[in-house]
Structure 1
Amino acid sequence: MKRYILGAGAVVFVLTACGPDVASDSGDGALSAPDADSPSGEITIWDRSGDLYDVFDAAIDEFNHKYPDIVVHHEAVDIDAKLSNTLITGADVPDGVFLDDAKVAGFAEHLHDLSGVLEPYLDDIAGQKIDVNTVDGQIYGVPWDLNPGLLFYRADILDQLGIDPSSIETYDDLYDAAQQVKDANPDAAPIHLEQDAFLSQLWLEMFASQLGTSLADENGELRLDSPEYRQVLEWLDQVNKAGLGARGEYLGPADLATLENGEQVFVPWAIWWDFAPQQLLPETSGKWRAMPLPAWDEGGARSGAMGGSSFVIPNDAENAELAWLFYEFLVFDSVGYEAVYGPNDVYPGGLNTSVPSYAPAADPDRPLFEPLDALGGQDLWPVAIEAGNEIPGGTPIPRWWAGAVEYLGNNLQRMFDGDLTPDEVIRRSTEEIQTNLVDRQ
């Protein structure tokens, strides 16, 4: 399985088929918070190496101001390579792990049920994050970030053409705006169309999320054959056939070239795309802006989820209750989430590639990160918070999701090649996923 490093501070998405399906066995270890006045002990916390590891590591000093007798052993680990075998063997199990939302359901039988300790916070956590962490009515992840979809656009080009971004309220409006760009520049292919099979399936799920659906329902049953997926695929097919789409792999050389030269003007993607103008687009940095995604239908949701991560606590953790205190501090304590998202040594302007899933931390009037020079000084915080609030609820992601890329992700690319119609993508992918993945569990 490929690994995708999705920008500085963004989530690393590596989906693997492991563990039970969402409606299968689940862990039975309901966790309780420690009742000691001065809890003490040692915990081992696994995070991935990189910028987020450094951000979380820097927050440990603040945690120890509150809990001076808890020693945190913070380890940079290849979680995708080590976690599954570690949980199965029960040897050297960490007390807490940073984990993709897409994997929580698959590991549920090895994880503590966190429903009890999360109960005081549930009303203030984004519903989509609770949903993706819930298996058979039990919650197995401490929800961390939201990754709302946004529409990034070249403000300078729209200004030159007299296109008001606020007029782009639906995907039909986006299509019309792209046609205006192409009429002015025949070489333009204004809308990004993802060429990588894995990321294109994740991208498709963002669009479907706006319509309140996903590849599987809460019981892990396939639901691709639906009016919602048909609507999305038909629009993408129309964009492609009209020559309005720039087909390229996410931030690959060809993609970057069309972004820089003005041929690609609109990028509907998760918030973590803002890494591109900050680090990879020196010629056009400062010319990009962000706004909520268009709605599929007038008055519909203006964002969908594209990825996300949470914190989990294994059943065999030696000091699970202390690990909960660490995650409670990072996610729900103002000192903790300000240390993570606010200006720090790693991100002097604050971590801006996601937003918190906890409402008090996601106050639109109290930004945790600063305006972005790469977006022309735009204050992305209220835009992203509004988009996060627009995300409909979700469902646990089934263990076969990654395997579906061989079928749905590839068939989507075949549609862009002109070999399949939207209906054929749905029919073939449904048959292949059901036969080769769902029925074989």
Structure 2
Amino acid sequence: MPTSPIGRRGFLKGTLGAGALALAGCAPGGGTAAPGRLTAPSATASAVKGEITVWNRSGDLFKVFDAAIAKFRRAYPQVTVNHRQVDIDAKLASTLISGTDVPDGSFWDDAKIGGQAEHLYDLTDLIAPYRDRTSPYKISVNTVNGKIYGVPWDLDPGLLWYREDILQDAGVDIAGIATYDDLLTASRTIKEKNPSSRPIHLDKNPFLSQLWLEMLANQQGTSLADASGKLRLDSAEYRRIFDWIRRATGDGLVTHAPYLEAADVRTLDSGQQVFVPWAIWWSFAPQNLLKATKGRWRAAPLPAWTPGGARSGVMGGSSFVIPAKAKNPELAWLLYEFLCFKDEGIRAVYGPGDVYPGGLSTSIPSYTPALDPARPLFEPIEALGGQDLWKVATEAAATIPAAAPIPWWWAQSVDHLGNNVQRLIEGKMSPDDVISDSAAKIQRNLIDRG
């Protein structure tokens, strides 16, 4: 992935593969199932041989996966893996449609997978042994019409990032922020202490603000569309979020800034911003960007929308896909099985390494056996004052509700909903306006035309 803070997380329908897996004494698995449904080879690791090309984004995570793939090669010594750095957002969808130079596998944002399901292998049978031990959220967003099309990789739980020193100075106890109403109360207390503060970060990017909105909806067990693709924006859950935004902005409690650009970093370091309700991948900021306040930031579970409600939701996330025209899809499955479901592979990705000496701490695995509190994958983080982020993140992740599949039109809906969320933050639209205008345009321009 690119090392820029936005790019790191990604800005964020088929025929069978023509090739066959070369196995010693074993027939290929893909041709034995129903069309488009992939099955695994039965040969032992030492007998499997062949060559695959897999795509990944450039940057730090490419290096992390490259090191993990080296361990896969040792487990499957006769498999050659060509690991390529590619602008996936620009190239993958068109490549799947054209069927030319298709990779055997690729990293991809969860929000993009549903729209290309007809060009991907059905992985339902392969995921089956791991399904009950994988985050229900990740299974649900990779499922289209009852079939699983992505190998679930990361889980991106939402957390409440906060300046511990400012809370202490204002006499605010983070343990007392149990609901979003409590967050407003705490922010008012901080603002009374420092009138120039605007404690709560709300993002100025329409895509990211819609991704953030879906995190808050996921907390409440809902999402923009249900499992059948029916729009459910006009609901008590979304209205609750929009009303909270209106109250926060109306009380002058919001800094409206673009994610980790210069103005955002400056106001985070100055103490103007105190609370950032965001995904775990915000941990990149105190570790790499916030020089003046390094060591003063901490993470807590998100507040709940109602007393006793879920304390986290998912914001973003990625999985691995295997194109239906891949030459050696079974080999690609073996690689992704290793990286996502095998202890050695998971630790190769998340554990300490050359790129992240303390381990990869911008997400956690979606495979729940890897979330053992006694076997943390990354170390306490100095930039968070030595806080054990692993403990906070895994406990929050355990509360995340399941979701519905992400509809094919989700990214396009940002032109309507994401932009209207910005207008709400700016005081140019009411919650009712956002719901009615966004729902009408998404239904007319995307769903009905789909």
Alignment CA distance shift 1:395-1:10 (3 Å) = farther
Q: Using the alignment, how far apart are the partners of 1:79 and 1:366 within structure 2? A: 33
SS at match of 2:398: helix
2:42 aligned partner, one-letter code: D
Contact 1:10 1:354 in 2 (8 A): no
More moved, 90-99 vs 230-239? 90-99
2:386 to 377, 380, 384: 377
* Residue of structure 1 in register with 2:329 after alignment: 320
More moved, 114-123 vs 148-157? 114-123
2:403 to 390, 394, 397: 394
Report the Cα offset of residue 146 of structure 1: 0.3
SS at match of 2:69: helix
SS at match of 1:385: helix
Q: Using the alignment, how far apart are the partners of 2:208 and 2:52 within structure 1? A: 35
Long gaps (5+) in structure 1: 21-26
* Residue of structure 2 in register with 1:406 after alignment: 415
Q: Using the alignment, how far apart are the partners of 2:300 and 2:158 within structure 1? A: 9
Report the Cα offset of residue 345 of structure 1: 0.7
Contact 2:3 2:59 in 1 (8 A): no
Contact 2:158 2:279 in 1 (8 A): yes
Q: Is 1:235 paired with 2:233?
A: no
2:231 to 215, 222, 225: 222
Instruction: Write the mapping of 1:272-283 to structure 2, written as runs, cut at 5 A.
Output: 272-283=281-292
Q: Using the alignment, how far apart are the partners of 2:208 and 2:359 within structure 1? A: 26
Report the Cα offset of residue 11 of structure 1: 2.2
Report the Cα offset of residue 247 of structure 1: 1.0
* Residue of structure 2 in register with 1:89 after alignment: 98
Report the Cα offset of residue 196 of structure 1: 1.5
Instruction: Write the mapping of 1:33-72 to structure 2, written as runs, cut at 5 A.
Output: 33-37=40-44, 38-72=47-81
Instruction: Write the mapping of 1:5-404 to structure 2, written as runs, cut at 5 A.
Output: 7=5, 10-14=8-12, 19=13, 28-37=35-44, 38-404=47-413
* Residue of structure 2 in register with 1:436 after alignment: 445
Q: Using the alignment, how far apart are the partners of 1:11 and 1:390 within structure 2? A: 23
SS at match of 1:113: coil
Report the Cα offset of residue 201 of structure 1: 1.0
SS at match of 1:390: coil
SS at match of 1:224: coil
- In the TM superposition, structure 1's runs of 4+ consecutive aligned residues that sit over 6 Å from their partners are 3-6
2:436 aligned partner, one-letter code: R
1:57 aligned partner, one-letter code: D
1:183 aligned partner, one-letter code: E
Alignment CA distance shift 1:331-1:82 (3 Å) = same
Report the Cα offset of residue 374 of structure 1: 0.8
SS at match of 2:390: helix
Q: Using the alignment, how far apart are the partners of 2:133 and 2:293 within structure 1? A: 38
Q: Using the alignment, how far apart are the partners of 1:9 and 1:288 within structure 2? A: 22
Q: Deviations over 1:264-287 (max 9, x none)?
A: 100000000111111111000100
The root-mean-square deviation of aligned C-alpha atoms, in Å, is: 1.6
1:12 aligned partner, one-letter code: G
Q: Using the alignment, how far apart are the partners of 2:405 and 2:278 within structure 1? A: 21
Contact 1:8 1:51 in 2 (8 A): no
Report the Cα offset of residue 262 of structure 1: 0.7
Q: Using the alignment, how far apart are the partners of 2:69 and 2:414 within structure 1? A: 38
Q: Using the alignment, how far apart are the partners of 1:156 and 1:176 within structure 2? A: 18
Report the Cα offset of residue 97 of structure 1: 0.6
Identity of aligned residues (%): 59
Q: Using the alignment, how far apart are the partners of 2:121 and 2:197 within structure 1? A: 51
Report the Cα offset of residue 4 of structure 1: 9.0
More moved, 317-326 vs 394-403? 394-403
SS at match of 2:368: coil
SS at match of 1:74: strand
Q: Using the alignment, how far apart are the partners of 1:8 and 1:414 within structure 2? A: 22
1:32 aligned partner, one-letter code: T
Q: Using the alignment, how far apart are the partners of 1:170 and 1:87 within structure 2? A: 44
Report the Cα offset of residue 7 of structure 1: 3.5
Q: Using the alignment, how far apart are the partners of 2:334 and 2:161 within structure 1? A: 37
Contact 1:5 1:12 in 2 (8 A): no
Q: Using the alignment, how far apart are the partners of 2:70 and 2:424 within structure 1? A: 51
Report the Cα offset of residue 9 of structure 1: 9.6
Contact 2:3 2:60 in 1 (8 A): no
Report the Cα offset of residue 13 of structure 1: 2.5
More moved, 118-127 vs 213-222? 213-222
Q: TM-score, normalised by structure 1?
A: 0.95
Report the Cα offset of residue 6 of structure 1: 6.6
Contact 1:6 1:272 in 2 (8 A): no
SS at match of 1:124: coil
Alignment CA distance shift 1:202-1:123 (3 Å) = same
Contact 2:297 2:384 in 1 (8 A): yes
Report the Cα offset of residue 8 of structure 1: 9.1
Long gaps (5+) in structure 2: 15-33
